[in-house]
Amino acid sequence: MSSAQTTGRWAPSPTGDLHLGNLRTALLAWLFARSAGGRFLWRFEDLDGAVRSQFYESQLRDVAALGLDWDGEPVRQSDRLDLFRDAIANLRERDLTYECFCTRREIAEAAAAPHGPSPEGAYPGTCRQLSRVEREQKRASGRPPALRLRAGADGVGPTELTVTDRQFGDYTGIVDDFVLQRGDGTPAYNLAVVVDDAAQGITEVVRGDDLLPSTPRQAHLAGLLGLHAPSYAHVPLVLGPKGRRLAKRDGAVTLRDRLALGESPVDVLNLLLSSLGFERVESVEDLDMVGQHFDPASLPRQPWVYEPPTPSPAAAQG
Ligand code: GLU
């Protein structure tokens, strides 16, 4: 493999069956990588407590059923804890971290305090200011602290960073003192994703645009760790009929549901392809041909609003 070769990835959390929105993002991530003649890797982001063992296999099976393939064995973040711990130790040694004892509620209240609301979703830096004595008292209270990144200079608070996204152009977003390690010791998403993308040699991250606001944080962290940040392409999500992010409540939205309605995997693939403005294929093996003509510049910039098929009386009961 030459160092210039594109390497993309798909990084689902095995917490449930993939729905049409997830499958469409997987398809796009695959198309971006394969159309560039690149590698495509699978990583399970399974540090979350909501992981269920059956979904490792079922997610692989569903994505393969649509004709997507990947290189090598899928990796699991839960097998790679040492990598994340090393990165955290590195930041800790450089005094780029601090312990945070705040509850979600305290953060929400502090963010709304009269001395000026924090920018949306940003941690206001409460525990950064704790004196040694206060910190000891909090520790003694028994609440296990999370570990946060000391992102901006002291007293400056959240900063901003601009990243360039292949689909969105320049995007400027907050880099606050985000969590690196949760109170229970689990490495947090933003830390694990940065370390793993670098460790796996990912050159281009393609994922749902709900993660665009996290991207400046991730690019900043990659810089601190001396890692090469990948390029990014965020793709629009799929929305349900009420305009909310697609979810189970929206009906037959998983591959299993669609097969139960009598559809075949190629029908589901064609539904996704048509939502992207591509022509239908005869079989899932024809996906390679779609990859040969794939042009990211022609992708829709708006979310796809999924309209469920008109329910039959039997389906309406479920
Ligand atoms: N694991 C995340 C998810 O399932 C994706 C993270 C990423 O692509 O960076 O939404």
296: CATH:
3.40.50.620
Rounded percentage of the chain residues whose pLDDT exceeds 70: 92
Whether residue 168 is contained in a domain is answered as yes
The pTM score is 0.92
CA triple 260-263-266, angle to 5 deg: 135
pLDDT at 194: 98
Tell how many helices (H) and how many strands (E) occur in the chain. 11, 12
Q: Average pLDDT in the 240-255 region?
A: 92
- Name the closest-CA residue to atom 4, ligand 1: 12
pLDDT at 120: 66
Same domain, 115 and 66: no
* Residues 277, 28: Cα–Cα separation, whole Å: 12
106: pLDDT confidence band, cut at 50, 70 and 90? Answer: confident
142: pLDDT confidence band, cut at 50, 70 and 90? Answer: confident
Amino acid at 89: A
Same domain, 270 and 179: no
Whether residue 226 is contained in a domain is answered as no
* Residues 184, 258: Cα–Cα separation, whole Å: 38
Ligand 1 touching residue 19 (CB < 6 A): no
- As a whole number of Å, the end-to-end CA separation of the chain is 49
* Residues 78, 234: Cα–Cα separation, whole Å: 25
Give φ, ψ of 77 to 5 degrees: -60, -30
Q: Which atom of ligand 1 is nearest to the CA of 9?
A: 8
Here the tokens at position 277 are: 């403005």
Same domain, 253 and 303: yes
Same domain, 85 and 186: yes
pLDDT at 156: 61
Residue 116 has pLDDT above 60, yes or no: no
Q: Average pLDDT in the 28-52 region?
A: 96
Same domain, 29 and 124: no
Same domain, 152 and 67: no
CA dihedral over 318, 245, 49, 106, signed as positive or negative: negative
* Residues 318, 307: Cα–Cα separation, whole Å: 17
CA of 115 to the centre of ligand 1 (A): 34
* Residues 246, 25: Cα–Cα separation, whole Å: 12
Question: What's the number of domains the chain is made of?
Answer: 2
CATH number (domain holding residue 96): 3.90.800.10
Residue 316 has pLDDT above 60, yes or no: no
Q: Which atom of ligand 1 is nearest to the CA of 13?
A: 4
Same domain, 132 and 106: yes
Question: For the segment 2-16, what is each residue's pLDDT rounded down to a tens digit?
Answer: 447 999 999 999 999
* Residues 105, 102: Cα–Cα separation, whole Å: 8
Whether residue 89 is contained in a domain is answered as yes
Question: For the segment 258-304, what is each residue's pLDDT rounded down to a tens digit?
Answer: 999 999 999 999 999 999 999 999 999 999 999 998 999 999 999 99
Q: Which atom of ligand 1 is nearest to the CA of 218?
A: 9
- Number of neighbours of residue 232 by Cβ within 10 angstroms: 21
Cβ neighbors of 112 (< 8 A, separation 6 or more) are none
Ligand 1 touching residue 102 (CB < 6 A): no
The lowest-confidence range among 58-67, 85-94, 119-128, 152-161 is 152-161
- Name the closest-CA residue to atom 6, ligand 1: 11
Ligand 1 touching residue 46 (CB < 6 A): no
CA of 205 to the centre of ligand 1 (A): 10
Ligand 1 touching residue 211 (CB < 6 A): yes
Ligand 1 touching residue 68 (CB < 6 A): no
pLDDT at 152: 76
CA triple 271-276-279, angle to 5 deg: 70
* Residues 222, 150: Cα–Cα separation, whole Å: 14
Out of 193, 231, 232, give the residue to mutate to test ligand 1, the one with the largest number of ligand atoms within 8 Å of its CB: 193
Same domain, 105 and 182: yes
Residue 119 has pLDDT above 80, yes or no: no
Q: Where is 235: in which H helix or E strand?
A: strand 231-235
Ligand 1 touching residue 202 (CB < 6 A): no
The strand pairing partners of 99, in sequence order, are 147
Same domain, 36 and 86: no
Cβ neighbors of 53 (< 8 A, separation 6 or more) are 14
Q: Which atom of ligand 1 is nearest to the CA of 12?
A: 4
Ligand 1 touching residue 193 (CB < 6 A): yes
Same domain, 108 and 179: yes
Same domain, 69 and 90: no
Q: Among 174, 191, 208, which residue terminates a domain?
A: 191
SS3 category, 39: strand
Domain that holds residue 292: 3-75+236-317
Residue 308 has pLDDT above 60, yes or no: yes
Ligand 1 touching residue 207 (CB < 6 A): yes
CA of 53 to the centre of ligand 1 (A): 18
Whether residue 219 is contained in a domain is answered as no
Here the tokens at position 244 are: 């909310």
Residue 77 has pLDDT above 80, yes or no: yes
Same domain, 44 and 93: no
Whether residue 224 is contained in a domain is answered as no
* Residues 276, 264: Cα–Cα separation, whole Å: 19
Whether residue 98 is contained in a domain is answered as yes
Whether residue 217 is contained in a domain is answered as no
Rounded percentage of the chain residues whose pLDDT exceeds 90: 80
* Residues 276, 30: Cα–Cα separation, whole Å: 14
Whether residue 210 is contained in a domain is answered as no
CA of 313 to the centre of ligand 1 (A): 36
